[in-house]
Structure formats: structure tokens, C-alpha cells
Amino acid sequence: MKKYPDDPGPEPRYRWRETWPNEGHEDYRAWDGDRSFGRIMLEVTGTMRTKWRWSISHIDGVKQTILPHNGWADYPRVAAAKVEDTYEQIAALNGLPINQPPRKP
């Protein structure tokens, strides 16, 4: 996500890591401690080429969700902010703690 200096989105609040490290994809997963909760990826073909798809992943303990839980954005940080905002709303709705540090082995 660092390749886009003109990205108007905010700084990420959670950890973002490459989904497929060292494979050259623009594809990232969001982490809150040990919980993976969302993903953004650059579409490279089709009518949405150059757009960023964002989506919420399955989250253990979630019984109620909100819509929309996926969509498109022009920039990666804007897409990441949609994932983070949606995650926090879903966590609040389901009483899940957020901003958890990773567990130590």
C-alpha cells in the first residue's frame, strides 16, 4: 500500500500484511492481534481494473453482520478504511473486543 503517495485515505489503524508474500500481488489481509478480519486487493482485469476490492472475512464469534460488507474503492487506504470501519461496527454489534495484541507462543 505504500506505492500510492496520493492516496487520500487515512493511515491504517490495524496491521496489514500481504496475502501472498513475495508473489507480486496487490493483495492484503487485515489483522487485529491474531484475528484476520478483512482483505483488500487490486483488480487487474475486467471492467473494474485499477479499482480496489475490499471485503470482510469470516470472523469467529460473529452472529450478526452488517451490509455492505464488501465493495470497491479507488485507492488502497480508502479500501482499508472501509474494512476497518466495517470491522469495528461488526465487533461492536457482536460484543467482540478490538485492538488486541497478538498472542505470544
Q: Looking at residue 2, what is its pLDDT?
A: 66
In a domain, 5, yes or no: no
Quick one: pLDDT band at residue 105, thresholds 50, 70, 90? low
Q: What is the pTM of this model?
A: 0.90
- Residue-wise pLDDT tens digits, 58-73: 999 999 999 999 999 9
In a domain, 11, yes or no: no
Instruction: Give the count of beta carbons closer than 10 Å to the beta carbon of residue 95.
Output: 8
Measured between alpha carbons, how far apart are the two ends of the chain, in Å? 29
Q: Is 90 left (phi over 0), alpha (psi -120 to 50) or beta?
A: alpha
Residue 2 placed within a domain:
no
| Domain interval for residue 28 | 20-94
Domains in the chain: how many in total? 1
> pLDDT tens across 18-49, in order?
998 888 889 999 999 999 999 999 999 999 99
105 in any annotated domain:
no
